[in-house]
Structure 1
Amino acid sequence: MSKNSGKGVNLKDKLDGNELDLSLCDLNEVPVRELAAMTKATVLDLSCNNLSILPSEFSNLTHLVKLDLSKNQLQQLPSDFGRLVNLQHLDLFNNKLVTLPVSFAQLKNLKWLDLKDNPLEPNLAKVAGDCLDEKQCKLSAVKVLQHMKALQSEQDRERQRRIQAERELEKKREAEQRAKEARERELRKREKAEEKERRRREYDAQKAAQKLVEKKKHDDDDDDGVVEKAVPVSCSPPSRKWSVCGILLKLLLFLIVCAIGSITVCRVTDIKPEPVCAPVNAFYEEAVSTLHSHEALQRILQRITLQ
């Protein structure tokens, strides 16, 4: 089925005073732009068409006082339908409406309402009633407005609770963020202090090591001075010096003992004439002649000779 927006319909031909009758025009869309220009038409009849939805721009027709949308296929009304604040008479008979927009509560001038033959949700259907006569339709308008105002108030409270919850959540997030930033600052401060303490310890350790090296060097210089004063010729360590001297002394004593023994053997035993004792006897005679002036040695040698 091709869409019929009413552009082929001469709206001026349908206008009678302040009443514009577009019923039975097989409309699929509402010619909102053309209707908005006809502010004189405060009564609009769109009944018995094929309308399944009203565009959001329909709420701009605020000049409407009476509106007939009966016997269409409307499944919902625009969310801002409540902008039609001058509307007093509304016929929605025989459509497919389940709920009404919350903004419906803003139709403060609404005096007459028919919602019969719609699959309304139970609470709304109970409030709307049957609208079988003028009195019931007027009562329906009053009750439905009260019902929608209650829903609007509940929605407003729910929205306020949601806004409050979001604010509380935002405050909580901000508090957590501030706490996190405070912890991070404290952590950075502690890490900085620890780093400073570590560097201070390293500095103190370096200074202590430097002092120890300087002290050791000073002590070594003092020890070198003492050694030079005590044994200026020797550069060997004391332990090594005494070890060599001991060996030399022992060797000297050994040689003396051997010499004395050889002299004694060659002078007092029967091998004196032997050739092996000739060097010993010669060394002895030379030593005696050299040391003849020493009286003590002479006595010792005399004793040895007498033996």
Structure 2
Amino acid sequence: MSKSSSSSSSSSSSKVLHLKDKVSGNEADLALCNLTEVPVRELALFPKATVVDLSCNNITSIPPEFCSLIHLVKVDLSKNQLTCLPDDLGNLVNLQHLDLYNNKLTVLPVSFSQLRSLKWLDLKDNPLEPDLAKAAGDCLDEKQCKQCATKVLHHMRAIQDDVDRAREKRLLKEKELGRKKEVKQREREAREKEARKREKAEEKEKRRKEYNAQRAALAAKEQQKKKNEEKKKKNGQAAGMVLMSNVLSADKKVVVESAPKPRRSLVGLLFKLLLLLLLGLAGVAASCRLTELQREAVCVPINAALDDGLSWAREQEGVVRQLVQNLSTAAKEFLESTQTSKN
């Protein structure tokens, strides 16, 4: 064991032995011991010592642990240097006699009002604040000291009530602030919820407008396509009409131009008319065959006739080929017979 711990242990033991020497029955006489602090731990070892005399020392304060000595009934702290008492002094519920004469106290702890067993109190020669000094009185005899205990307890209970009201008011204020804060929180959450709802509605409306715009664009595109098809049909019809008009104009021109030329042969004139007619028919057939006019009622018989003509030409192709072959064979035989006759 170290030297410091050994000395501390021996010092503690000496205090216990010293206090034991001072205890007699239910009394512990620690007056005039030059104490600067209350030996709380040592007093706690003697729960039967309900009367403690700590007068005429140099004690400046009382530790909070002193308030745990609830077995104390009478305490004498007169003629010390106390400037304050512990806040939990009211825990000494069995305390009946308290002597605080000739100290430096100005106020008492609010918990003093809880000393309901207190019957005797002396606060003379303390620089008490005016209201407390008025409640304490002079305390020059037993009767006045008892009155001092009653009046001071009443005074401290009034202070306790004020403190309780102030605390209650503070709690109510804090509760009100909490309620207002909660209301603001709910309002903020409601605003945020409404904002989210509005954003969703705006997003939905935006998507709906985009969808309608796409539908409108598709409809416009389809309408433009139909217009283009109708325009093509009209252009095809106009081209056919122009071609037919040109053919007719050409025919008229041929007739007009051929009138003043009586010397041309009739066969040449008929050949030209036939050629122009064929050209006109070819233009009409091409218009009905190659343009959008092929679905029109006017072009149906023309396309049918053209198909029939082509079919007939394909059918006659074999006949013409056979005819040419026969003519070739006949010519060959004719040439051979002619050659033989010459020989």
Same fold (TM over 0.5): yes
In structure 2, the gaps of 5 or more residues are 1-10, 247-256, 265-343
TM-score calculated relative to the size of structure 1: 0.73
Q: Distance in 1 between matches of 2:47 and 2:63?
A: 18
Letter in 2 for 1:135: K
For residue 108 of structure 1, the aligned residue among 110, 113, 116 is: 116
Letter in 1 for 2:72: L
TM-score calculated relative to the size of structure 2: 0.66
Q: Could you list the structure 1 runs, at least 4 aligned residues long, displaced by more than 3 angstroms after superposition.
A: 5-9
User: Match for residue 17 of structure 1?
Assistant: 25
Give the Å deviation of 1:232.
Answer: 5.5
Give the Å deviation of 1:6.
Answer: 7.8
Q: Distance in 2 between matches of 1:165 and 1:134?
A: 46
Is the aligned partner of 1:89 residue 2:97? Answer: yes
Normalized per residue, the structure richer in helix is 2
Q: Distance in 2 between matches of 1:7 and 1:221?
A: 121
Give the Å deviation of 1:8.
Answer: 4.1
Letter in 2 for 1:22: L
User: Match for residue 252 of structure 2?
Assistant: none
Give the Å deviation of 1:228.
Answer: 2.1
Give the Å deviation of 1:229.
Answer: 3.1
Is the aligned partner of 1:44 residue 2:52? Answer: yes
Is the aligned partner of 1:291 residue 2:274? Answer: no
Residue aligned with 1:231, SS: helix
User: Match for residue 225 of structure 1?
Assistant: 233
Give identity over the alignment, percent.
60
For residue 171 of structure 2, the aligned residue among 129, 152, 163 is: 163
Is the aligned partner of 1:180 residue 2:188? Answer: yes
In structure 1, the gaps of 5 or more residues are 235-244, 246-286, 295-307
Superposed CA RMSD: 2.5
Q: How does 1:1-307 map to 2 (within 5 A)?
A: 8-9=14-15, 10-231=18-239, 291-293=261-263
Give the Å deviation of 1:39.
Answer: 0.6
Give the Å deviation of 1:7.
Answer: 6.5
Paired residue total: 240
Residue aligned with 1:44, SS: strand
Give the Å deviation of 1:204.
Answer: 0.7
Q: Distance in 2 between matches of 1:14 and 1:83?
A: 25
Residue aligned with 2:118, SS: coil
Residue aligned with 1:212, SS: helix
Residues 241-266 of structure 1 show CA distances to partners (whole Å, capped at 9, x for unaligned) of: xxxx9xxxxxxxxxxxxxxxxxxxxx
Q: Distance in 1 between matches of 2:123 and 2:14?
A: 31
